[in-house]
Amino acid sequence: MSWAAFIHVPLGPVLLGVLSHVTVFIRGEWHMRVPVLITTYSCLITALLWIEYSISGSSKASITIVGRITGLYATGLLGSIIIYRRYLHRLRDFPGPSLAATSKLWHVWKSADGKNHLLLERLFNRYGPIIRTGPEELTIINAAIPHIIDGSKSQFRRATFYDAFLPMVAISATRNVDDHDTRRRIWNRGFSSKALAGYESLMLRYTELLASQIQNLLSEESMGTNSREVIINVTDWFAWYAFDVMGEFAFSKSFNMLRDGKWHSKIRLLVDGMNAGGTFGKVPWLVQLGKIIRPRVSLVKDWDSMLQWCRDCMDERLQWLINAYIGDGSQQAELAWLQGDAVTMIIAGSGTVSIVLTFAFYQLARDHSQQQMLYDEIKDVNIYDGLKLQECAQLTAFINETLRLYPPVPTAGNKVTPPQGVTINNTYIPGGVTIVAPKYLIHRLESSYESADQFIPERWTTLPDMVKDNRGYVPFSQGKYGCIGKQFAMTEMRLVISLLLKKFKIEFQANDNKGEALFEDLKDNFTFCTRRFTSEISVKESCLMLGGWFRRVHTFSSNIRRSYAM
């Protein structure tokens, strides 16, 4: 049978589709080859159209025939993929939703509301601690899994999600182990204890500016009145603080959001891009498809614009280096790494700190006994001495408990099993499988923590028996992929909490319903985030009410009083 006759028989294109899957697409990673695949299939379809037209001389007939052939081929290809993943795949015996085994598009659809952490919780309650959440993906909720995938001897590597950042190269995004280890050694020096001491003056300056701006809002609204009312978005202020600190750290250039009391346009684009990336990053080929059609996707164009602005900022900072090594390929490659590292540092160091501060102040407003306990501990401490703040055990425990219940990266950070596979709790998992270890659920395991869903900082100090198994407590991850800026972030949080507590007392606004809307609108978009919302701040006598939490929340409000009223 001739080739032309074969493809015109209905079974022919179907068999070609099946053959394409079992001989080509069933092997390796294909998400980065989306441009090549689109080009290849476009050329093939165009060639078929030309051949059919040269035979029939009819455009309509050519389009009809080629459309039928393409449809039959797609039926064979997709049918083979579905049958294989559902009934023949090596992960077929692991429990989970049947549609999840077929395609990660199911996960995008089910988590489009930003509630991925709650979706995984429901799956955990239904299917148990090991769930098949993708064709080649398992979600594991077990206290031992963080050490297995991120421990010092782990052979796991980063999953395909991290390719979403390409062609940008950065220590927190590269999947190449050698590149990562080389960059890590360089950055470790920049985050040493000695280097951190040098950054404290930077953090202090912006922490004082944050407190000063809050006080200015209070003073402005109280002029000529006895009853004080003001509008403030506390979550925005925490975000502006964190981004300004990281802007100065990465670019020696503040975004001036604290000073101006408003969002920088490029940082808005960054936050919006990360929110979208948290959803669509679950299907890496969708991200690559978006990059191909970027002229028609405003979000992708905005993301590119933000990245270029960050690169320009880094180029401005290192212009002397660029001029000195212009044309030197190795030095240009180094500059590309510096640009990428700076961008991802802004992302990693800002949204995470601000959301933890959001939840910390929610807990302070919710439990006045914790607020009083912290105030008593820090009231006589020189908070401008970082070492003294580190010695405040209750403050550190309060932050640790906040990180336990609300890890800033609740479900992301996927890794891939080594080629030889791995055995977890007597269950063998083959090599090349993506493992999801959601901190949000692991940190709330009743097998690890007594009263796991309750906020009890004393479990880290005077009630150690409430921690049954702390192996799963890794809010900053661990091992070579652990957060390099952990101590930097902890210093920021200690400073902000202690300085604001020394100046103000925090309470819920009267009509705020104890911040319930904070959780109703909380989104898991790689990092936890919340809807930007402005709520009322009421000031009576020396009382200041703060409201509106982070970038996606409805009505969390709090009352801040001068500490001398305590």
- The DSSP code sequence of 504-517 is EEEEE-TTSGGGHH
Give me the residue label for tokens 């439990």.
Answer: 367
d(CA 313, CA 106): 39
Beta strands in 106-259 (DSSP E): 130-134, 137-140, 157-158, 227-232
Q: Which two tokens stand for residue 52?
A: 């059919």
Cβ atoms of 264 and 256 closer than 8 Å = yes
d(CA 566, CA 226): 21
d(CA 166, CA 144): 31
At 553 the pLDDT is: 31
At 343 the pLDDT is: 76
User: What are the sequence ranges of the domains in the chain?
Assistant: 3-88, 179-404+492-565
At 561 the pLDDT is: 42
State whether the Cα torsion 428-416-148-360 is positive or negative.
negative
Q: Residue 238 corresponds to which amino acid? A: F
Alpha-carbon distance values, 379 to 186, 374, 382, 401, 498 (Å): 38, 8, 8, 21, 9
Q: Which residues of 127-158 are buried (b: 16+ CB within 10 A; e: fewer)?
A: bebbbbbbbbbbbbbbbbbbbbbbeeebebbb
Cβ atoms of 517 and 221 closer than 8 Å = no
d(CA 420, CA 435): 15
H helix or E strand, kind and range, residue 323:
helix 319-324
CB atoms within 10 A of CB 178: 8
At 535 the pLDDT is: 35
The size of the chain, in residues, is 566
Binding residues for heme, by number, are 483
d(CA 562, CA 549): 21
Q: Which of 509, 566, 515, 510 is nearest to 374 (CA)?
A: 566
Q: Which of 29, 30, 34 is nearest to 294 (CA)?
A: 34
Binding residues, by number, are 483
Crossing angle (nearest 10°) for helices 368-378 and 393-405: 140
d(CA 511, CA 170): 45
3-state SS track over 252-318? CCCCCHHHHCCCCHHHHHHHHHHHHHHHHCCCHHHHHHHHHCHHHCHHHHHHHHHHHHHHHHHHHHC
User: How many alpha carbons lie under 13 Å from residue 198 in its C-beta half-sphere?
Assistant: 7
At 158 the pLDDT is: 92
At 122 the pLDDT is: 97
pLDDT in tens, the chain (566 residues): 445 565 567 788 999 999 999 999 998 888 888 889 999 999 999 998 998 888 888 888 889 989 999 999 999 999 999 999 999 999 999 999 999 999 999 999 999 888 999 999 999 999 999 999 999 999 999 999 999 999 888 999 999 888 877 777 788 888 888 888 888 888 888 788 788 888 888 999 999 999 999 888 877 765 555 545 455 677 889 999 999 999 888 778 889 999 999 988 888 877 777 776 677 778 888 877 877 776 566 666 666 776 777 777 766 766 655 555 455 555 666 667 777 787 777 877 888 899 999 899 889 888 889 999 999 999 999 988 888 999 999 999 999 999 999 999 999 889 999 999 999 889 999 999 999 999 999 999 999 999 999 999 999 999 999 999 999 999 999 888 888 889 999 999 999 999 998 888 777 766 666 667 777 778 898 888 875 433 333 333 334 444 433 333 333 344 444 443 33
Residues β-bridged to residue 558: 508, 546
**Region for 273 from its dihedrals, namely left if φ exceeds 0, alpha if ψ lies in -120 to 50, beta otherwise:** alpha
β 427-429/422-424 pair status? antiparallel
d(CA 431, CA 284): 20
CATH number (1.10.630.10, 3.50.50.60, 1.10.10.10, 3.20.20.10) of 179-404+492-565 reads 1.10.630.10
